[in-house]
Copies of this chain bind each other. A is one copy, B any other.
Amino acid sequence: MDAAAREAQSGLEWRVTVPEGATVTMEEHEAGGAAARACAWLLACFATAWSWVAGFARKVWRIAADDPRKAVHGLKVGLALALVSVFYYTRPLYDGVGGAAMWAIMTVVVVFEYTVGGSVYKCFNRVVATASAGVLALGVHWVADRSGELEPVIVTGSLFLLAAAATFSRFIPTVKARFDYGVTIFILTYSLVAVSGYRVDQLAALAQQRLSTIAIGIFLCLAVSMLICPVWSGAELHLLTTRNMDKLADAVEACVEDYFAAEEPTPAARQSTKSKSDGYKCVLNSKASEDAQANLARWEPAHGRFGFRHPYAQYAKVGAAMRACAYCVEALSSCARAEVQAPPHVKRLLRDVCARVGARCARVLREASRSVATMTTSSSSRTLDFAVADMNTAVQELQGDMRTLPSTVLAAKLLAAETTSLMDTMPVFTVASLLVEISARVEGVVDAVDELATLASFKQVDDDDDDDDKKGETEMTIKVHPLNEPDTDEESPENKTRKA
């Protein structure tokens, strides 16, 4: 966008200067000069507009290419609307905007959401709120009808009180999370029915007609939403969680690598580590989208590997544990960027053991991610628990090295007569303590994942069979891993975060 804007500006200047030169030769005929200038101005405007449009089109194309499901969603909405309109076009009892068709169309437009969970949430809210508000309004209407002169007072008074109470109820967190849309529809339906001038028997027929039309809209909407390339909130949440876990793993490794990088890396290498080590930022910023998806996912019927009462709330806890870990990774990555750095020969003393801790933390996170992605635990819980044990061994080694660091440095000093003060060891020590803290928080993530495995009753993979190919285990882990990621979109988690 910025590049496009700059391009547009330079285009503008270039096109303006040419006629400016031309006007010098045409100084005598003013009118012609003015026309040429106007023409140039138009051309410049056109060029600017064109490059803006081109930049915008590129941006839009990138969104669609990154996640084709978004484009498909647009087509699905178009299809649902076309179906409803065709349905009403071909019916003899079609009676224009004022009639029944309107409510079906309105329902499809308002209720169709990107994920199935979102659509079900809105459908459920719409039906329940319309029905309950309709019944209530009919009752009040009946009472008001009998009361003669008091009618406007009763109707307006009840409208005021109900609207006030319903609006206020949206501030209650549970209502906000589950019935926000329903409250709007409740107020809307109640007002429309209560204020209407119809008699009660007319109203009952109207209500029945309206409900049946809404039912048609909802049926079409849910059918299109679920049958054509459905996007499930639960699956999105699941994928977001495993991707964030992998990113966190990459970030831990890359940050440690950054810190201990012996010489200045080449810009290309720096770029690649940078994008890896920045992965923790996705984790930091994905709370809102996790919460939103978990909220919608609870409305979804059982699908694929997700049962009806899949513990979506636990994903939020896994997310919180990952964020706690990411806070520490952030502190670690700021150490790598700090001005005051330990001298290289001091860094070297802890480099290997720190790299090992970082790699093993990353391995634990990847194993946990794999367990969540495949929804399996090994029956002997071997892989993940072994990874945790390995990590803890590495942490203990690191703590041992930290304890002996001062004497090691002093010994090195005596031997090499280098100008090393103990002060120089301090920054490395900070990094090491952060790594210890990170490993503790990685265990927190593992605990949350274990709870998820229990709640969602992950399938126990019986790995007695492959006890004989233990040596092939690491390769297997690596080979299995890419299967977790669908082959389409590399960038979509960021988009998801941005979307929310």
From A291, which residue of chain B is reached at the shortest CB distance? B288
Contact between chains at A195 and B105 (CB < 8 Å): yes
Considering the chains assembled together, what is the distance between the CA atoms of A81 and B152 in angstroms? 13
Of the candidates B74, B159, B165, B169, the one whose C-beta lies within 8 Å of that of A85 is B159
**Interface residue stretch chosen among A13-21, A186-194, A474-482:** A186-194
Residues of B within 8 A of A112 (CB): 167
**Interface residue stretch chosen among A2-10, A42-50, A326-334:** A326-334
Residues of B within 8 A of A191 (CB): 81, 85, 105, 109
Contact between chains at B74 and A165 (CB < 8 Å): yes
Annotate A396-413 by CB proximity to B: 1 below 8 A, 0 otherwise. 000000110110000000
Mark out the residues of chain A between 64 and 105 whose CB falls within 8 Å of any chain B CB in the assembled complex. Answer: 64, 70-71, 73-75, 77-79, 81-82, 85-86, 88-89, 94-98, 101-102, 105
Task: List the interface of chain A (C-beta within 8 A of B).
Answer: 59-60, 63-64, 70-71, 73-75, 77-79, 81-82, 85-86, 88-89, 94-98, 101-102, 105-106, 109-110, 112, 152, 155-157, 159-169, 171-173, 176, 184, 187-188, 191-198, 206, 284-285, 287-288, 324, 327-328, 330-331, 334, 338, 402-403, 405-406, 421-423, 426-427, 429-430, 433-434, 437, 495, 498-500
Contact between chains at B499 and A171 (CB < 8 Å): yes
Interface of A, helix, strand, loop or mixed by DSSP: helix
How close is A494's CB to chain B, nearest CB, in angstroms?
11
Considering the chains assembled together, what is the distance between the CA atoms of A108 and B71 in angstroms? 33
Copies of this chain in its oligomeric complex: 2
Which one of A63, A74, A287 has the highest number of Cβ atoms from chain B below 10 Å of its Cβ?
A74
Residues of B within 8 A of A73 (CB): 167-168
Residue pairs across A and B with Cβ atoms less than 8 A apart, 9 shown, are A70-B168, A77-B163, A82-B163, A85-B195, A88-B195, A97-B193, A171-B499, A328-B334, A429-B430
Considering the chains assembled together, what is the distance between the CA atoms of A278 and B86 in angstroms? 58
Considering the chains assembled together, what is the distance between the CA atoms of A307 and B156 in angstroms? 38
Contact between chains at A60 and B172 (CB < 8 Å): yes
How close is A21's CB to chain B, nearest CB, in angstroms?
38
Residues of B within 8 A of A77 (CB): 163-164, 167, 187
Contact between chains at A86 and B156 (CB < 8 Å): yes
Residues of B within 8 A of A427 (CB): 433
Considering the chains assembled together, what is the distance between the CA atoms of A445 and B63 in angstroms? 33
Of the candidates B78, B163, B437, the one whose C-beta lies within 8 Å of that of A334 is B437
Contact between chains at B110 and A184 (CB < 8 Å): yes
Considering the chains assembled together, what is the distance between the CA atoms of A428 and B210 in angstroms? 70
List 18 additional A-B contacts (Cβ < 8 Å) besides A77-B164, A328-B334, A422-B422: A60-B169, A70-B171, A74-B167, A77-B167, A78-B159, A81-B187, A85-B191, A95-B197, A97-B192, A97-B206, A109-B184, A284-B327, A287-B288, A288-B500, A327-B330, A334-B437, A430-B430, A430-B433
From A102, which residue of chain B is reached at the shortest CB distance? B192
Contact between chains at A188 and B89 (CB < 8 Å): no
Contact between chains at B184 and A74 (CB < 8 Å): no
Considering the chains assembled together, what is the distance between the CA atoms of A328 and B287 in angstroms? 19
- Contact of A188 with B499 at beta-carbon distance under 8 Å, contacts A59-B172, A82-B159, A433-B430 already known: no
How close is A266's CB to chain B, nearest CB, in angstroms?
28
From A500, which residue of chain B is reached at the shortest CB distance? B288
Of the candidates B110, B168, B176, B433, the one whose C-beta lies within 8 Å of that of A188 is B110
Considering the chains assembled together, what is the distance between the CA atoms of A97 and B433 in angstroms? 69
Contact between chains at A96 and B196 (CB < 8 Å): yes
Residues of B within 8 A of A324 (CB): 330
Residues of B within 8 A of A164 (CB): 74-75, 77-78
Considering the chains assembled together, what is the distance between the CA atoms of A162 and B166 in angstroms? 35
Considering the chains assembled together, what is the distance between the CA atoms of A288 and B292 in angstroms? 11
Considering the chains assembled together, what is the distance between the CA atoms of A364 and B160 in angstroms? 49
Contact between chains at B437 and A433 (CB < 8 Å): no
- Contact of A196 with B97 at beta-carbon distance under 8 Å, contacts A74-B165, A106-B188 already known: yes
Residues of B within 8 A of A162 (CB): 78
Residues of B within 8 A of A198 (CB): 96-97
Contact between chains at B160 and A331 (CB < 8 Å): no
How close is A131's CB to chain B, nearest CB, in angstroms?
17
Residues of B within 8 A of A88 (CB): 195
Of the candidates B85, B197, B421, the one whose C-beta lies within 8 Å of that of A96 is B197
